[in-house]
Structure 1
C-alpha cells in the first residue's frame, strides 16, 4: 500500500474507533512501528488526528467515545493476559469477588473458571458468559441493567443491586488512567456503576495495561489514591510508574513476551 493510501486508511480508522494504538495499526497494514509513527506525525501536523503516547486519537479528544468490546479485545492481548494471570494469583477460595466489565477482566474470568469456592459478582454480560460456558464450579451473580457498547450493565437497577452487597475483592477495568483525572471511563452510567462496586468492596485492584496511561474518559471513576493496587505491564513509562508508586497502595508490573515487528 502506498503511503498516501495508508495514511487515508489510518485517518478513517481513527475517525471510526476514536483511539488507536501504533502496534495495532502496524499489524493492520503489515508495516513497521516506525512507519506508523511517521504516518501519525504527518497526519498530526495536518490536523487530521491527534498524536498521543503509543497511538493516535480523534482531534480535540474523544472523552465520550466508547470503543466496542470486539475492537478492545484485539488490543494489547499479551499484556492483558499477563495482567490477568497476576490478578488470578490474588483470588482465594471462599472470596466474594467483583469483576467489572472490560476485556482484561474478561481474560481474568477465563482463569478464575479453573477455581472453585468463589462467588463472582459482575455487571458484564461477556464475563458472565465465560463462567456459564465453562460450567465453572462457582456462584455467579449477574446484575441487571441497561447494556453499554462495552457490554456492561449499568443504570439504577444495576447500581442498587450492588449497593446491597459486600465484596472481599474487586477487579476493576478502566478506559484510562491519568495523574489528574484518575481512573476514567467514557460512559457516565458505567462510572456510577464502578463507583458502586468500589464502595461495596474491601479491596480494589485496577487492571490496566500501559496503553491506558494518559487516556481520559469524560467521567472519573476514582482518584488514584482511592484504589489499593494497580496491576499493569512492564511497558508502562517511568513517569507513570513514579506517579502510581507515590499515590496508589501498590503497583505491580508484569513482564510480557516480546513481539516481533515488521
Structure 2
C-alpha cells in the first residue's frame, strides 16, 4: 500500500471512530509504529487530527461539522451500519433482556429499539444516553473504568455487575474477524467483558460491517463459531460466506434493506 493510500485509510478510520491507536494501525497496515507516527504527524500538520499518547483523535473542528466525511465511501460505510442496526432490532422481542456492546454499530441497534418493551444492558455510555428517553426500555449501564477517548466501560467492577444475571440475546460488535484468529477487539479488558457476556447469554449475535473482515484487533474474543448468527453486509468476502455456511452459522445481510 502506498503512503497516500494509507493516509486516506487513516482519515476514514478517524472519521468513523473519532480516534486511532498507533499499535492497531501498525498491525492493520503491516508497517512500523515509527511509520504510523510519521503519518499522524503529516495529518496533524494539515489540521486533520490531534496527536495523543499512543494515538490520535479527530480534530474537534472537523468533528463538529455535520457533514464531515471522507466522501461517498464513508457515507456508504455509515449507512451499512444503520442497516445492520435495523436487522438486529427486528430480532429483539418484547419482554427480552439484551446486551449491546460498546460501539457505533450497537448504537444503531439502540436507535431502532426505542418502541419495544425490553431490558437493555450495556457497557457503553453513549448507548445509555441514546435510550434514556425510551419509555418502554429499561436501560442498565454497567459501571467500571472508562476507556480513554471512548464511551466504553470495562474492568473488575463491570465484570462483577455481570455476575448472577442472564440475558436472552447479546449483540457483540468486534474490531476484526479473520479465519485464523477469529473475532478480535481493541482492548484486552473489553475482551474480558464480552467473554463474560457470552457466558451469561442464551444467544450470541455478532454485528460487524464488511470492513471488519480480514482485520485483526489487539485482543482475541473467540472463534468465528462462537456465535450462531452474524449480521453483516452483502460485501462480505466470499471465503467467509463459505466458512459460515459450512459451520452452520446463520448469516444475515443488509441486501433486503437497501
Distance 1:68 1:179, change over 3 A: farther
Partner residue of 1:29? none
* Contact persistence 2:207–2:231 (CA under 8 A): yes
Mapped to 2, the partners of 1:250 and 1:125 lie a distance apart of 30
Partner residue of 2:46? none
1:129-166 CA-to-partner distances (Å, cap 9, x unmatched) read 1001x343211111000112442110000011112211
Mapped to 2, the partners of 1:13 and 1:97 lie a distance apart of 36
Partner residue of 1:153? 153
1:15-34 CA-to-partner distances (Å, cap 9, x unmatched) read x66x849xx89xxxxxxxxx
* Contact persistence 2:115–2:134 (CA under 8 A): no
Query: Do residues 92 (structure 1) and 97 (structure 2) align?
Result: no
Distance 1:181 1:255, change over 3 A: same
Instruction: State the number of aligned residues.
Output: 215
Deviation at 1:214, TM superposition (A): 0.6
Query: Do residues 59 (structure 1) and 58 (structure 2) align?
Result: no
Partner residue of 1:236? 236
Query: Do residues 222 (structure 1) and 222 (structure 2) align?
Result: yes
Distance 1:213 1:203, change over 3 A: same
The two structures, once aligned, show a CA RMSD in angstroms of 3.2
Mapped to 2, the partners of 1:122 and 1:20 lie a distance apart of 24
Partner of 1:119: helix, strand, or coil?
strand
Deviation at 1:57, TM superposition (A): 3.1
Q: Identify the structure with bigger relative contact order (alpha carbons < 8 Å, sequence gap 6+).
A: 1
1:61-83 CA-to-partner distances (Å, cap 9, x unmatched) read 89xx888797xx97511111111
Distance 1:20 1:142, change over 3 A: closer
Gaps of 5+ in 1: 1-6, 26-48
Q: 4+ residue runs of structure 1 moved beyond 4 angstroms?
A: 7-14, 65-70
Mapped to 2, the partners of 1:77 and 1:249 lie a distance apart of 25
Mapped to 2, the partners of 1:111 and 1:101 lie a distance apart of 16
Partner of 1:242: helix, strand, or coil?
helix
* Contact persistence 2:6–2:29 (CA under 8 A): no
Query: Do residues 103 (structure 1) and 75 (structure 2) align?
Result: no
Partner of 1:236: helix, strand, or coil?
coil
Query: Structure 2 length as normaliser, TM-score?
Result: 0.73
Mapped to 1, the partners of 2:56 and 2:121 lie a distance apart of 24
Partner of 1:172: helix, strand, or coil?
strand
Partner residue of 2:142? 143
Distance 1:165 1:82, change over 3 A: same
Query: Structure 1 length as normaliser, TM-score?
Result: 0.72
Partner residue of 1:210? 210
Mapped to 2, the partners of 1:67 and 1:96 lie a distance apart of 36
1:98-136 CA-to-partner distances (Å, cap 9, x unmatched) read 111010100110111121x2011101101101001x343
Distance 1:8 1:180, change over 3 A: closer
Mapped to 2, the partners of 1:167 and 1:175 lie a distance apart of 23
